[in-house]
Amino acid sequence: MKDIASERRTLLKAAVASGIAFASPLTRSEAAYPNRPIRVVFSLPPGGSGDAIARLISDGLSRALGVSVFVDNRPGGNGTIAVNNVMQSPADGYTYLLTSTNMVLTPLLRKSNYDPYKDFLPVSECARQPLVFSVHSKVGVSTLADFIRNAKANPGKYSLGSFGVGSVAHLYGELLQEASGIELLHVPFKGEAEAMRALVGGEIDSVFFGPSAVKPQADKGVLHMLAVVGQERLSVIPEVATFPQLGYPSINLVGMHALYARAGTPSAFVQRIMAEVGKVIATPEMSARIRDLGAIPVGGTGEQLLSEMKKHTQRWSVLIKQKNIHLE
């Protein structure tokens, strides 16, 4: 009869030969992670709901991890300045990228020096940011149906502002025109601030914009909010119906604020941050504060973020090719 030690050796050899993986204890560096400040490179400028969300999540991570997690704003270039900054940083788990839907949009619009699926690891989708289609009061309508009716009767009369060619605000405008059969004059600006100033000043007629920026002007009667992108109404503007509710089901894909790590970052580090982001966002206080900013808290896994990225790539690549939209 074989002794116990001999049997164990035989079983171990068989397991290794068959490819069965045994869990190994954490390395010293993995067990100690994180032990110094973590930098979150954010692709938008300070101020605005996106920046507020970035800081809320970073503050929550600081408390959860016991180290400083700080936001480093690197706006510009449709998100590429932030992307390049992270690509030039060590893949050591102490630099992460928090960016918008531009992560997948920019490579569709022009030749890019990065591949969002190969050069980065999806960590977690922090929040979704629905945009609200709003018009200046001078347009003389307060419902989407009236706007569509007037626009159909006057092709090219009404202007649609955006944050720039290929921005989500521009693409939503293209979807609206395609779905409703209207023709709008696209007026691209260099950023969100310029577009909002132009709308409030009556220089343009309409724009897709975040609710936190639009609502104060709507409360004053300067703007009218006609419809929200997505499937659910927002708690900050519950009176505004969604596009699908108003008969435009194709205008339903909501932009995202998501966290990424540079490819090569240790998996254990990425998994730790993913788990902590989920816990932070799941707290009632954090969820409420994100909703108060006109966004939708998510906090899913890296796999779920990857699936959402693919949805955006598929939807927008078709539209961009159809409309021949590109950046120089």
Question: First vs last Cα of the chain: how many Å apart?
Answer: 77
DSSP letter for 92, please: S
Q: What is the pLDDT of residues 117-132, one digit of tens each?
A: 999 999 999 999 999 9
How does DSSP assign 15-57, residue by residue? HHHTT-----PPPHHHHH---S-EEEEESS-SSHHHHHHHHHH
Helices (H), ranges, the chain: 4-17, 28-32, 48-65, 80-87, 102-109, 144-153, 168-180, 192-200, 211-219, 267-282, 284-292, 302-323
Mean pLDDT of the chain: 91
| pTM of this structure | 0.88
At 32, the pLDDT band (50, 70, 90 cuts) reads confident
Coil, strand or helix at 65: helix
- CATH 3.40.190.10 domain range(s) in the chain: 132-246
Q: What is the pLDDT of residue 192?
A: 87
- Say how far apart CA 241 and CA 222 lie, in whole Å: 19
Determine phi and psi for 112, rounding to 5 degrees.
-120, 155
At 27, the pLDDT band (50, 70, 90 cuts) reads low
- For the cut 50, the answer to whether the pLDDT of residue 21 exceeds it is no
- For the cut 90, the answer to whether the pLDDT of residue 4 exceeds it is no
Q: What is the pLDDT of residues 286-305, one digit of tens each?
A: 999 999 999 999 999 999 99
Helices 168-180 & 144-153, crossing angle to 10 degrees? Answer: 70
Protein fold of 132-246: D-Maltodextrin-Binding Protein; domain 2 (3.40.190)
Residue scoring higher pLDDT (191 or 180): 180
CA distances from 327 to 27, 30, 105, 164 (A): 45, 42, 11, 10
Task: Tell me how crowded residue 137 is: count the other CB atoms within 10 A of its CB.
Answer: 15
Q: Which residue has the tokens 């050069």?
A: 119
Q: What is the pLDDT of residues 61-108, one digit of tens each?
A: 999 999 999 999 999 888 999 999 999 999 999 999 999 999 999 999
Q: What is the pLDDT of residue 5?
A: 39
Q: What is the pLDDT of residues 166-181, one digit of tens each?
A: 999 999 999 999 999 9
High-pLDDT (> 90) share of the chain, %: 85
CB 150 within 8 A of CB 183: no
pLDDT mean over 156-168: 95
Q: What is the pLDDT of residue 161?
A: 97
Q: What is the pLDDT of residue 24?
A: 46
**CATH class of residue range 36-129+254-323:** alpha beta
- CATH 3.40.190.150 domain range(s) in the chain: 36-129+254-323
Q: What is the pLDDT of residues 142-154, one digit of tens each?
A: 999 999 999 999 9
- Say how far apart CA 278 and CA 298 lie, in whole Å: 8
